[in-house]
Amino acid sequence: MRISRKKRKEDPKKLYFHNEGIVVPQVMVLDNSGANLGTMNTGEAIRSAREQEMDLVLINPKVDPPVAKIMDFGHFQYQQEKEARIKKAHQHVTKVKCVRLSLRIGAHDMEIRRKQAMDFLNEGDKAKVELILRGRENQQAVLGFETMRKFVASINAEVPTKFDQNVEKQGSVISVILTKT
């Protein structure tokens, strides 16, 4: 049996041209501390950077003339990757967590599901509440909508929420997606 796995799309990395990779004839040069050295020919700027044992890196290619800075390119790349790792570590991916109910659910079970949904919402995730109608319960969809309304109202009393997807019936499932406001 073969399992197919989707490849994640990687973020396109910002490409910085440096030294001989810079093809424009003239650049505005900044030194390592950020002071403006003026407009120079690219070859002359590269020689100036090499004398300081640094690299000439094209920072802003869209202006006229393009802006290049004299810096250590390896250290610059390391700092960029470090910032990207920190951003990635601090981002929270919102997930949709599911809570299932039934038409004949007891009061205690309803309370447990309510606490689960509130925990999901407090963690920053979305809560999908599903009420499954089985067999003849499909004819009692009105009771299902009423049970769902009571459940959402009980959650809303403690955690302010909004509907990410309104209450709707698809086949034999009544569902709603809630997010914390």
Summarised one tens digit per residue, pLDDT across range 13-43 is: 677 889 999 999 999 999 988 899 999 999 9
Convert the pLDDT of each residue in 163-175 to its tens digit: 988 999 999 999 9
Mean pLDDT of the chain: 90
Q: Output the pLDDT for position 90.
A: 84
Question: Is the CA virtual torsion 17, 22, 26, 32 positive or negative?
Answer: positive
Convert the pLDDT of each residue in 124-141 to its tens digit: 999 999 999 999 999 999
Is pLDDT above 70 for 120? Answer: yes
Q: Letter for the amino acid at 76?
A: F
Question: Is the CA virtual torsion 136, 138, 139, 144 positive or negative?
Answer: positive
| Across 152-181, average pLDDT | 93
The topology under which CATH files domain 96-180 is Translation Initiation Factor IF3 (3.30.110)
Q: Output the pLDDT for position 4.
A: 57
Kindly indicate the confidence band of residue 3, based on its pLDDT and cuts at 50, 70 and 90. low
- Cβ neighbours of residue 164 closer than 8 Å, sequence gap 6 or more: 126, 177, 178, 179
Q: Output the pLDDT for position 16.
A: 84
Is pLDDT above 80 for 5? Answer: no
172 burial level (CB within 10 Å; 0-12, 13-18, 19+): middle
Give the pair of three-digit tokens for residue 48.
Answer: 């100036």
Convert the pLDDT of each residue in 62-112 to its tens digit: 999 999 999 999 999 999 999 999 988 888 788 999 999 999 999 999 999
Q: Does residue 8 or residue 178 have the better pLDDT?
A: 178
Enter the pTM of the model. 0.56
C-alpha to C-alpha distances, 103 to 116, 128, 130, 138, 173, nearest whole angstrom: 18, 16, 11, 10, 11
Nearest to 28 by CA among 19, 37, 17, 15: 37
How far, in Å, CA of 175 to CA of 129, rounded? 6
Give me the residue spans of the domains in the chain: 19-89, 96-180
CATH superfamily of the 19-89 domain? Translation initiation factor 3 (IF-3), N-terminal domain (3.10.20.80)
Q: Output the pLDDT for position 13.
A: 65
